[in-house]
Amino acid sequence: MSPHINLTQFIVKQQRTNPQSTGDLSGLINDIASACKEISHLVNRSGIMGIGGVAESENVQGEVQKELDIITNDVMVNHLNWTGHLAAMASEEIEEIIQIPKQFPKGKYLITFDPLDGSSNIDINLSVGTIFSILRCPDGVTEPTEATFKQKGIEQVCAGFCVYGPTTMLIITTGNGVDGFTLDQDVGEFILTHPKMTIPEDTNEFAINMSNQRFWEESVQRYINECMQGVDGGRDKNFNMRWVASMVAEVYRVLTRGGIFLYPIDNKPLTEGGKLRLMYEASPMSFIVEQAGGISSTGRERIMEITPEGVHQRVPVILGSKNEVERIISYHQD
Residues that bind Mg ion (CB under 5 A): 114, 117
Q: Which residue is nearest to ligand AHM (CB)?
A: 247
When the beta carbons of 128 and 329 are compared against ligand AHM, the nearer one is: 128
When the beta carbons of 68 and 100 are compared against ligand AHM, the nearer one is: 68
When the beta carbons of 189 and 205 are compared against ligand AHM, the nearer one is: 205
Rounded Cα distance between 248 and 265, Å, is: 20
Contact partner at residue 266 from Mg ion, ligand AHM, none, CB < 5 to 8 Å by partner kind: none
Dihedral of the alpha carbons of 168, 32, 25, 296, in degrees to the nearest 10: 60
Rounded Cα distance between 320 and 276, Å, is: 16
Q: Which residues bind ligand AHM (CB under 6 A)?
A: 63, 92, 114, 117-120, 209, 245-247, 263, 275
The CB-of-160 to Mg ion minimum distance in angstroms stands at 15
Contact partner at residue 112 from ligand AHM, Mg ion, none, CB < 5 to 8 Å by partner kind: none
When the beta carbons of 7 and 90 are compared against ligand AHM, the nearer one is: 90
Contact partner at residue 10 from ligand AHM, Mg ion, none, CB < 5 to 8 Å by partner kind: none
Contact partner at residue 193 from Mg ion, ligand AHM, none, CB < 5 to 8 Å by partner kind: none
The CB-of-327 to Mg ion minimum distance in angstroms stands at 27
Contact partner at residue 63 from ligand AHM, Mg ion, none, CB < 5 to 8 Å by partner kind: ligand AHM
E strand or H helix at 318, and its extent?
Answer: strand 317-320
When the beta carbons of 129 and 153 are compared against ligand AHM, the nearer one is: 129
Contact 207, 227 (CB under 8 A): no
Percent helix / strand / coil, the chain, rounded to 5: 40, 25, 35
When the beta carbons of 98 and 285 are compared against ligand AHM, the nearer one is: 285
As a whole number of Å, the CA-based R_g of the chain is 19
Contact partner at residue 245 from ligand AHM, Mg ion, none, CB < 5 to 8 Å by partner kind: ligand AHM
The CB-of-209 to ligand AHM minimum distance in angstroms stands at 4
The CB-of-192 to Mg ion minimum distance in angstroms stands at 26
Helices first, then strands: H and E counts in the chain: 8, 17
The CB-of-108 to ligand AHM minimum distance in angstroms stands at 28
The CB-of-92 to Mg ion minimum distance in angstroms stands at 5
All residues at 6 or more sequence positions from 311 whose CB lies less than 8 Å from its CB, including other chains: 90, 97, 112, 146, 149, 150, 279
The CB-of-59 to ligand AHM minimum distance in angstroms stands at 8
All residues at 6 or more sequence positions from 199 whose CB lies less than 8 Å from its CB, including other chains: 254, 255, 258, 289, 292, 293, 294, 320, 321, 322
When the beta carbons of 25 and 171 are compared against ligand AHM, the nearer one is: 171
All residues at 6 or more sequence positions from 76 whose CB lies less than 8 Å from its CB, including other chains: 35, 39, 89, 91, 113, 115, 130
The CB-of-43 to ligand AHM minimum distance in angstroms stands at 13
The Cα-based distances of 210 to 191, 226, 230 in angstroms read 37, 14, 17
Rounded Cα distance between 262 and 299, Å, is: 10
Contact partner at residue 70 from ligand AHM, Mg ion, none, CB < 5 to 8 Å by partner kind: none
Q: Which residue is nearest to Mg ion (CB)?
A: 117
Residue whose C-alpha is closest to residue 298's, from 219, 222, 201: 219
Contact partner at residue 286 from Mg ion, ligand AHM, none, CB < 5 to 8 Å by partner kind: none
When the beta carbons of 114 and 250 are compared against Mg ion, the nearer one is: 114
Q: At what angle do helices 247-257 and 283-291 cross, to 10 degrees?
A: 10
Which residue type, as a one-letter code, is found at position 52?
Answer: G
Residue whose C-alpha is closest to residue 147's, from 315, 303, 313, 310: 310
